[in-house]
Chains A and B, each alone.
Chain A
Amino acid sequence: MMNRSIPLVRKSHLAFLIIFVSLVILAQWRIESRFRWPFPALSELEVSENYAGDLGALFLGAHRVAADIAYIQLLQYYGMGEDERKVGRPTLVTPWGHHISDDEAGVYPRLKEKAVRLLRLDPYFNAAILEAAGALAFNQVRIDESLELLREAIQRDPSFYRYHLYVAAILYRSKGNDAELIKTLEEAMNYNDCPPLLQNILGNLLKKTGRYEESARVFIHIIQTGAREADRNTARQKLVEILQEHPDLQRLYPQ
């Protein structure tokens, strides 16, 4: 016996369903094609005793909260020097003359690991990452670890120029690797908000390493785009020095 009276699916319902599904597909396609997912994949998370908690937070869509908790845990770790401090460690003096006393010279072997964990949870928690990099470089005198951290931070958030600034500062100050420093600063210059200070450091380094044309281009860029008169004047001075030594480069700046 056919059941005549159970309502068949109405045409209007079917039409609405098709429209809604189409809109879902359209919106999803638009978002997926237009926007890049800004966070690292789950597979890149630091595997630690907090892994389950981190995963749980990410499943709730809480990257920033996961990073906040990682930051708090990092602070707690870095503040718990008593368990990790080596008693009797001699006072350190950094290359730039900073005296580190026993109280600051805790070991903290997992400091970088915890900072990387934070970075991979929220690569845009810039202030916290800078704090960690600063602690590693300036307090712990662990230049390599600090640079590794900052390099990964730059890779994940290239637009945050202060990472480049910190790298520049660390390398410049530690009489380090000029080639690496130049590469980093050139990268930083791709961003509109790269400060003249950073550009100035790059210009100086290029000059120091004999790359006069590139150095001149950097100072010309500062003259043309620098917002402050002082920055432009400094760049003009540097450019004049270069052009005096290399008149063939006058073509770059006819004025």
Chain B
Amino acid sequence: MSSVFAIARYTIIEQIRNRLYQIILFFGGAILASSLLLGALAPGHKVRVIFDLGLVMLELFGLATAVFGAVSLVTQEIESKTIYLLLTRPLRRPAYILGRFLGLVAAVSITMVAMAILHVLVMVSDRMWFQVFTADWSFWTVYPLLVFMSMGKMLITAAVALFFSLFATSSVSALVFTGFFWVAGHFGPELSFMINKTVQGPLRTVLHAAAAVFPNFQYFNFRDMYAIPGFPGYEFIGWAVLYALAYAGALLTVSMILFSRKEF
């Protein structure tokens, strides 16, 4: 485990010092601040608009950082040959993959937390901010949960990007595949709906199974669902978290298998 943490540590440092990472963080912050303008167009619901838009921006920028980071996480090391001096150490290859992934996730989480703090400051600047929330949740309970659920989405997407990067021919193609999975992952309920409407019998089961290969990102859009009366919050979150960890875990395991067989 110490090797995993050593790898994770340098990954965090490397990511944070990366110019692309800093640019994404800067633009994310700028756009978050500009959500104030949109909020002004919705009198009476200004804070709701800032709240909703800010969460989406936070998620999108976190995801951009995760995907760009994950796609080049290993490929860049292979291309630059910095990986040689790592793999010739007493470091198991699965530990390398796990360490790189955890480091990336940590670095991106730092981004998201930084943007979340900015977002909260933007909202708190309006004295009526607390009115956004329902009787079921307090702001200080629901906000961290919503950011946490976005991190679940980021975790899965980063695992998908890492997986594709290990066998795609280039970083660009890995990005494209990941983007496709990202879109398909939000299509989950619609896909189920269409399958149920158009197909019967065993084929329906087969298609549902095939559709289940794509991650269902709607499970993590808790920001759309927390205010729905009677929506079972913690139970839903629990299962969604398990889903995220297991899905990412499965992809990481396959990535470890692929990487263990790679020659340099």
Contact = CB atoms under 8 A, between A and B. Distances in A.
A58 B236 CA distance: 20
Contacts of B254: 17
A25 B250 CA distance: 11
A16 B230 contact: no
B225 A61 contact: no
Contacts of A7: 260-261
Interface in A80-129: 122, 124, 127-128
Interface in B217-264: 217-221, 223-225, 227-232, 235-236, 239-240, 242-243, 245-247, 249-250, 253-254, 256-257, 260-261, 263
Contacts of A39: 189, 224
B45 A71 contact: yes
Chain A contact residues, majority secondary structure = helix
A41 B189 contact: yes
Contacts of B224: 39, 61-64, 122
Interface residues of B, number: 55
Contact of B52 (A64, A128, A131): A64
| Residues of A in contact with B, size category | 35 or more
A131 B242 CA distance: 40
B250 A160 contact: no
A230 B263 CA distance: 82
B78 to A, nearest CB: 17
Nearest to B245: A23
Nearest to A30: B239
B172 to A, nearest CB: 21
B239 A27 contact: yes
Interface string A48-60: 0000000000111
Interface of A: 6-7, 9-10, 13, 16-17, 20-21, 23-28, 30-32, 34-35, 37-39, 41-43, 58-65, 68, 71-72, 75-76, 122, 124, 127-128, 131, 157, 159-160
Given A13-B94, A17-B257, A60-B60, 15 more contacts: A13-B257, A27-B243, A27-B246, A28-B212, A35-B231, A37-B218, A39-B189, A43-B193, A59-B186, A61-B218, A62-B224, A63-B224, A75-B43, A124-B228, A128-B45
